[in-house]
Amino acid sequence: MKLKLVLLFIISTTYSIFGQSDFDSPYSIFGIGKENSTLFGNSNALGNTGIANNSPSTINNLNPASLTALQLGTFIYEIGFSNTFSSKQDSESTQNNNNFNFTNIGIGFSLNKKWKMNFGLIPKTKVSYEIDLIQPIEGSSYNYYTNIIGSGGVNEAFWGNGYQLTKNLSVGLQLTTYFGSIDQEKNIYYGDNSVTIIEENNYNGVGLTAGFQYTLNNLFGSTTTIGGIISTESTLKGSQDYTSTKTYSSSTYTISEDEDESIDSYKLPLKIGVGISSTYKSLTVSMDYKKSFWSDSYQSNTTYKYNDQNTYGIGFEYKPTGNNYKYWNNVLYRLGANYDSGYLTISKNKIDSYGFSAGLGLPFSQNNASTLNLTYTYGSEGTLDNNLIIDNFHKLSLNLSLSGKWFQKQKIF
């Protein structure tokens, strides 16, 4: 794809490539962009774990089987935001950015005692980068300048269903629709003349995720839940709107223009995951492992290759014991860590990432069912080796979860 070829060309040159304005990730130039790593509920503070977690007061989009924890006659609204301060560095310079993002919105409710359902919307990926190039004109002493701007992303709308088969076993199925556009604007300048090329790549497709959760009561004095998920490979069909214009002597001419042209489809890989969550007295420990089979979806070449992606996460949640009428005894305290091996190797360097998180679950309703989840995350992505870029970031996530009864007014302190 053209986006990949641009970055590969940049990596193989010695010219300055660092962007001059805000961008989320220099690696979002690949494919359909960088995956959104902010989740629903308490998962952000628990190392992005949640395959085996279930709660009557939060939405968990990692495993549709977790929906069975929702109480009969209740509904949950949830909305999330994040603000990220990042420091991006190459071998020559450093750039600081601040970026505010909407991360999720959803609603969950019970249809009957055993069948629960949710709907939601998440930005699946985001593309945001800007690259400036100065390159010589072959056979002359002059240079031409290229400015490349990428924006857009793919969204994920999901419909989840959870069903409780037995007292200890729940299963779930989630249907996902993907839609969005990836835009790239390339401006080439030579003296007073310029050429502008605008590409808008539109994608849409569907996916399916199945999951289960099984609870073991009184296992060595604890309550332990194991969970598993599988997401099918999804094909996102693509079309492109293309416009090329030239400016010469203050006049602009259209060189070419195409609409709704077919382009290569983009494949989201098969994904599997397993998790375990164990509660002993006041402490809950969660661990997840997920694997995405990218190497089965894309061929590699001599400069970059697609790897199978492995993600590991661990989280700890603590609820104090004592007088429940004291506010801080109802607050949930959380810690987490995760490691993502990434799915790209560029110039023999794996583009991996890691993060450490801490958070609070602050109740604000009379029955503690409505919660404000605050999370701070420090993380890093990429490397400085072979003229690549490292991104160190600080992220503050806010998830507001409102729980209420059908046909009853919400009670607030």
The DSSP line for 241-295 is EEEEEEEETTEEEEEEEEEEEEEEEEEEPPEEEEEEEEEETTEEEEEEEEEE-GG
d(C-alpha 176, C-alpha 195), whole Å = 39
CB atoms within 10 A of CB 181: 21
Residue by residue, DSSP assigns 10-70 as: HHTS-S----SS--S-GGGGSTT-EEP---STTGGGGTT--SS---TTS--TT-GGGGGGS
* Mean model confidence pLDDT for the chain: 85
Supply 184's token pair.
């790239």
| Confidence at residue 24, expressed as pLDDT on a 0 to 100 scale | 62
First to last CA, the chain: 55
DSSP for residue 2: H
Under 8 Å CB-to-CB from 395, ≥6 apart: which residues?
Answer: 38, 82, 83, 84, 85, 375, 376, 377, 378, 379
Residues 334, 42: contact at Cβ < 8 Å?
yes
Average pLDDT over residues 3-18: 36
Phi, psi (rounded to 5 degrees) for 45: -85, -10
Report residue 409's pLDDT band, with 50, 70 and 90 as the boundaries. Answer: low
* 171-188 confidence digits (pLDDT tens): 999 999 999 999 999 998
CB atoms within 10 A of CB 2: 12
Residues 130, 19: contact at Cβ < 8 Å?
yes
Supply 133's token pair.
């190039």
Residue by residue, DSSP assigns 182-193 as: EEEEEEEEETTE
Under 8 Å CB-to-CB from 120, ≥6 apart: which residues?
Answer: 40, 59, 61, 78, 104, 105, 106, 107, 157, 158, 160
Higher pLDDT, 87 or 208: 208
User: Is residue 172 helix, strand or coil?
Assistant: strand
d(C-alpha 198, C-alpha 398), whole Å = 35
Report residue 230's pLDDT band, with 50, 70 and 90 as the boundaries. Answer: very high
Q: Which of 118, 79, 199, 206 is nearest to 154 (CA)?
A: 206
| Confidence at residue 50, expressed as pLDDT on a 0 to 100 scale | 94
Percent of the chain with pLDDT over 90: 51
Q: 378 pairs with which residues across the strands?
A: 356, 394
d(C-alpha 150, C-alpha 3), whole Å = 9
Pairing between β-strand 143-164 and β-strand 125-136 as defined by DSSP bridges: antiparallel
Under 8 Å CB-to-CB from 65, ≥6 apart: which residues?
Answer: 54, 162, 170, 171, 172, 211, 212, 213, 227
Higher pLDDT, 296 or 146: 146
| Confidence at residue 303, expressed as pLDDT on a 0 to 100 scale | 65
Supply 260's token pair.
């709704």
Phi, psi (rounded to 5 degrees) for 346: -120, 130
The 3-class secondary structure across 100-118, one letter per residue, is EEEEEEEEEEECCCCEEEE
Is the pTM above the cut of 0.75? yes
| Confidence at residue 262, expressed as pLDDT on a 0 to 100 scale | 85
| Confidence at residue 244, expressed as pLDDT on a 0 to 100 scale | 87
| Confidence at residue 19, expressed as pLDDT on a 0 to 100 scale | 35
Residue type, 51: I
Higher pLDDT, 1 or 151: 151
* 333-384 confidence digits (pLDDT tens): 999 999 999 988 888 888 999 999 999 999 987 777 789 999 999 999 998 8
Residues 11, 388: contact at Cβ < 8 Å?
yes
Higher pLDDT, 311 or 387: 311
Supply 70's token pair.
């929702």
What distances in angstroms separate CA 229 from CA 55, 235, 286, 318, 354, one per listed residue?
18, 19, 15, 26, 22
d(C-alpha 158, C-alpha 401), whole Å = 18
Under 8 Å CB-to-CB from 206, ≥6 apart: which residues?
Answer: 175, 176, 177, 178, 234
d(C-alpha 350, C-alpha 385), whole Å = 10
* 282-331 confidence digits (pLDDT tens): 999 999 999 999 987 765 555 678 899 999 999 999 999 877 788 888 89
